[in-house]
Amino acid sequence: MFEAYDSYDNMKQIFGMYTEQVEALQTNFSVKISDNRFQVLRAFLYGDYAFLCNVLGHQGAASKHPCLWCDIAKQQLSKGVPHCSVKLDSVTNTFIANPDWEPRVRSIAQMQNDLIQYNSDDKKDGKKYRNITKPMLLPILDSVYQIVPMPLHILLGLVLKFYNMLETTCRQIDRNDNESLYGVWKDASDQAEQANLEYEEAKAAYQSSQELLAAFVCEQEKKGKKKRQRRRCTTEEDACNHPLCAISGGYKTDVETLDWVQCSNCEKWYHSICVEYASSEVEQDDFLCSHCSGTVLSNLK
């Protein structure tokens, strides 16, 4: 057990004690399959991403070329460019790198060459050399296909991808529903606003008609209202509009006071005795003079 942070320097100290043994095990150790057949063992590098980066001398996930199997750039990953491609070799019946595909598959020889160029560069700019900046801690690999990622990390990546797809789809559904609900609300709001405008117009028209009706009724009441007055008949000024006024003709000179009645149409005043209109009927029924009777009553109704 080595209780320390799994940094490159700490891992170099540990692996340095076993490098020769692992290399010898890979090159010299074989397993007997049958009487005349043996199978040489091959080593595979297995672990999480940070562990694999340290063993391969890679700068890690924040680098320009974060993939350990190909030289794809981070900008390409953000745009959805797929990783390296493989094809089935018809001769060996194994999967090999597809040379017609970009980005290119990494190789162990290329990694070693990148390290040499990096060390000779005074600026030490790792992104120019696919972010290989340190020696490989276990030089036992012949191919990048001997680098095995942890299944848990693969599953987490797949789950995250599907989760993001699900979240995007749900957000799109919510957005469509919100737009649909907003359309319904907007239509209802417009209809309510139009109904409110129509109500205000109808209210104003009703109030105007009420005012006109009240004015008409008031006018009709003024026209139809009979007034009874008592005056002293001392001079001829008390004569009424009747052509045969009893006062002006001197027929009723002994009468001190008289009842007057007004025509509902022409609003002229007459003595009740001149038009033979009983005093008890004053302010009870409409009165029309002889000139207006029979011609205006129908129009008043």
Residue ranges per domain, the chain?
8-149, 165-224, 225-291
DSSP letter at 143 equals S
pLDDT tens digits, residue range 264-293?
A: 778 788 887 787 766 554 454 567 787 887
Mean pLDDT of the region 65-82:
86
pLDDT tens digits, residue range 97-143?
A: 666 666 788 888 899 999 999 999 888 899 999 999 999 988 777 78
Domain over 225-291 is classified CATH 3.30.40.10 = yes
pLDDT for 41 equals 74
Residue 55's beta-bridge partner residues?
none
pLDDT for 114 equals 94
Neighbours of 201 (CB within 10 A): 10
d(CA 29, CA 38): 10
User: Would you say 138 and 22 are in contact if contact means Cβ atoms under 8 Å apart?
Assistant: yes
269 CB-contact burial (10 Å; exposed 0-12 / middle 13-18 / buried 19+): middle
Mean pLDDT of the region 24-48:
77
Among 250, 219, 220, smallest CA distance to 233 is for 250
Query: pLDDT band at residue 296, thresholds of 50, 70 and 90?
Result: very low
User: Would you say 86 and 96 are in contact if contact means Cβ atoms under 8 Å apart?
Assistant: yes
Residue 260's beta-bridge partner residues?
271
Backbone angles phi, psi at 219, to 5 degrees: -65, -40
User: Would you say 260 and 273 are in contact if contact means Cβ atoms under 8 Å apart?
Assistant: no
Query: pLDDT band at residue 63, thresholds of 50, 70 and 90?
Result: very high
In terms of phi and psi (left: phi > 0; alpha: psi -120 to 50; beta: otherwise), the region of 234 is alpha
pLDDT for 285 equals 56
Q: Which amino acid is at 134?
A: K
State which H helix or E strand residue 171 sits in: helix 151-224
**With 50 as the cut, is the pLDDT of residue 300 above it?**
no
CA distances from 100 to 84, 85, 103, 104 (A): 10, 9, 9, 9
Among 256, 235, 252, smallest CA distance to 244 is for 252
d(CA 246, CA 271): 8
In terms of phi and psi (left: phi > 0; alpha: psi -120 to 50; beta: otherwise), the region of 250 is left
pLDDT for 226 equals 46
The more confidently predicted of residues 199 and 32 is: 199
Neighbours of 138 (CB within 10 A): 16
pLDDT tens digits, residue range 150-187?
A: 888 778 888 988 998 999 888 888 888 777 788 788 88
d(CA 254, CA 180): 95
d(CA 182, CA 139): 64
Query: pLDDT band at residue 209, thresholds of 50, 70 and 90?
Result: confident
